[in-house]
Amino acid sequence: MPKGFLIDQDGVIYVENRMIPGADKFVEMLQKENIPFTFMTNNSQRSPLDAVRKLEKLGIHVEEKNIYTSAMATAHFMGQQFPNGTAYVLGEGGLISSLHEHGFTLVQNDPDFVVVGEGINFTLEMVRKAIDFILGGSKFIATNLDPSPRKPGWNNLGIASIVAMIEAATGKVAFTVGKPSPVMMRQARKHIGLATEEVTVIGDTLATDIQGGVQVGYNTILTLSGMSKKEDLNDFPFKPDMVVNSIADIKLPLPWWK
């Protein structure tokens, strides 16, 4: 039976522009052993090619097929629900290209969907239009609900803050596709052609990667090289199957591989 991985990027493979030691060797091992894997990221702004190029700069060589983003999951979900629909988008780059690839037309009036993703060029006028569209009946989608890192000078407000503003103004709750939503967790699995029992999630965040994996029945590995720390395990009613300091500490075969 084949086995494979859904791997978070930021906090597992790198932190900002610094590769976590040993991440390149782990990826090389997967490639050498022909073990299926994809990097699963909530970042909807970056296209798969953007992600490949960032990893390339760090010395990790993968292909676009090894990337699955919340933008890809969102566009796929919307295409299933409303083929050849229209969308008003607060987002950039990867989200826009993914919507185009799934047959969506981006419009400025009467959209079927209002979609919120990452971006740094939002204006209050764009948010106001989004609110009017939703009040007029447009469906409200968020690629993810990642918060701002709350650092001085950070130029990305975080999708959660934009979505909260629109929800407060409309009384409508956004449907969220990205991690930990089962929608993205299942689509990422299908992207690498594995069954539920064949998948292991590697992530650094209990509230997204690990929770998402637990919800759909995947095995999970928490790395302590990013957001979540060992003491945070007490704050959640679930636990990962394995906890490691970094991805470099993961040895194959895993205990649950049979």
pLDDT digit string (tens) for 69-125? 999 999 999 999 999 999 999 999 999 999 999 999 999 999 999 999 998 888 899
DSSP state of 143: S
**What is the model's pLDDT at position 154?**
67
- Among 149, 148, 131, CA closest to 140: 131
How many C-beta atoms surround the C-beta of residue 242 within 10 A? 17
110 counts as catalytic: no
**pLDDT value at residue 120:** 81
Residues 176, 179: Cα–Cα separation, whole Å: 8
- Residue of 94, 100, 88, 87 lying closest to 119 (CA atoms): 94
Catalytic residue among 8, 24, 112, 204: 8
Residue 91 tokens, joined: 């987002």
| Tokens 């569209």, located at residue | 133
- Read off the pLDDT of residues 1-60 as tens digits, 9 standing for 90 and up: 689 999 999 999 999 889 999 999 999 999 999 999 999 999 999 999 999 999 999 999
pLDDT at position 224 is 97
Amino acid at 222: L
pLDDT digits (tens, 9 = 90+) for 126-176: 999 999 999 999 999 999 998 877 777 766 678 999 999 999 999 999 999
What is the average pLDDT value for the chain, to the nearest integer? 95
Question: Does residue 50 carry a catalytic annotation?
Answer: no
CA atoms within 13 A on the CB side of 37: 20
Tokens for 226, please give them: 């990013």
How far, in Å, are 21, 87, 202, 222, 246 from residue 12 at the CA level? 10, 33, 8, 9, 7
What are the φ and ψ backbone dihedral angles of 244, each rounded to 5 degrees? -130, 160
Decide the pairing of beta strands 113-116 and 86-90.
parallel
pLDDT at 106: 97
